[in-house]
Structure 1
Amino acid sequence: MPTGSIKVIDFERGFAFIAPDDGSNDVYVRLSTTESVSLLRRGLQVNYVIIETGAGKREAGNVVPANDADVATRSTHGWVKFWNNVKGFGFVSTGDGPDLYLARRSTRFDGSQLPSEGDEVDVEYVHTGERNPVVIKLTITRLAPWKPSGIALFDFAEMGGRAQSVDQLAALAEPEPWDNGHEPTGGKPILDSYLRYTYVRLVEEGKVSTSSDNTYASFNTGLVTPMQEEIFALFIRNPSPDRQPWQLLGFRKRSDRLMLTHFGHALPDLANYFDDPGVLLYDRRLQLHINIDHVIEHLERFPGSSQLRV
């Protein structure tokens, strides 16, 4: 079996070159087909086989370290300092020594979820002779607290079908006429609008809650069941890094097991739209001013028996 040393390695571009010990020409290595890619580093002695690729070209295959002692792994705990999901690389900080380099191409992620900045992680890494040791395995131990980046509900979470999610909430809540009375749509546009604007208000007030382990999120819809139980929207972290940060699990009652398990210590609070309760009281001392033009333009809103007949 041929032997040599890694002369050049570029994790981002996905290739390396081996300088054979017999002095022959350098051999190209395609990192995407190399199982031990995370163990490779410049200067490392390796064993390999020659693969003929056609047109007189050849590549190195089955590239493995020649000496296991050269690739001793170490373990530590840290947090994700930086992660670029588009380019697929980042750094883990341990608070001691240089940051550790991680990349989709060279790191094995334990679990289906890619890291986010601020996540606490356990890592295994190797010294490669480069400036930053390379992470070969990463396990997320605690997700970073979620911070809202906008106030639109459908930017916050995948709702599993907008109409279906609204229908689910309507089925759980006290019956209400959620369609437009004067221009029926067959849907529930009033509830859809109510849900979106309630979420906006809750974000403004900082009342969208996350569980202690940051794996669930929830907010109080302000609605109740026919038995007067509060209804909450419940979300779980979205495993797809290119999508919204959360996925809707469903609308749950106050007594729901998941709500009690993850938020029982502090269920999400209602949205508040006023500071002075006095604004809810009608003050009969104030004079009423009727907008006659507005009334005439919307006569269809009155019962038929009350509409003017011309």
Structure 2
Amino acid sequence: MASGIVKFFNSAKGFGFIAPDDGGSDVFVHVSAVERAGLDGLNEGDRVAYELEQDRRSGKLAVGELQWMGAGAPLPKAGRAGGYARSPRGSLSRSGDGRAPAGAGSGVVKWFNTQKGFGFIQPEDGGSDVFVHISAVERAGLRSLEEGQAISYDIEQDGRTGKAAATNLRVDR
């Protein structure tokens, strides 16, 4: 395993970078690798060990397996009752960029682009379209969303930008 120091990690956006100890180029780390390691996020300066793998969407090298080694306090992963309950991502983050829950809703997928990693859900109550990121889709155990697909979701408000995003997705059958 290679090792390095977390240079940057934004829990709200779901990615960051690690400065490798060998002095090479910074390494991309997606929130999915962090969550597989049992963490909700990383702090700048944390020491980590990692294995690189080819990202299935971009084809570029990214962290596949991650181990937290020390420095700042890790963010322990919250329990998941039934696979959907979850504390807001980044709620324990010292950086203050986490999200706060803002409600729930249901609607249909207006569009979703797997390559771009995001899309929008049209709420059934007729309100403004709700942003949905690929990380929320993957956490729900899905690979993508299809136009017209019925979805229930929780809404998180980004504490930094104030924008709403869908999380804890559930496919309505």
- Which TM-score bucket, shorter chain as reference? 0.3 to 0.5
Structure with the largest fraction of helix: 1
| Structure with bigger gyration radius | 1
Structure with the largest fraction of strand: 2
Q: Tell me the TM-score normalised to structure 1 length.
A: 0.28
Higher relative contact order (CA 8 A, sep 6+): 2
Q: Tell me the TM-score normalised to structure 2 length.
A: 0.46
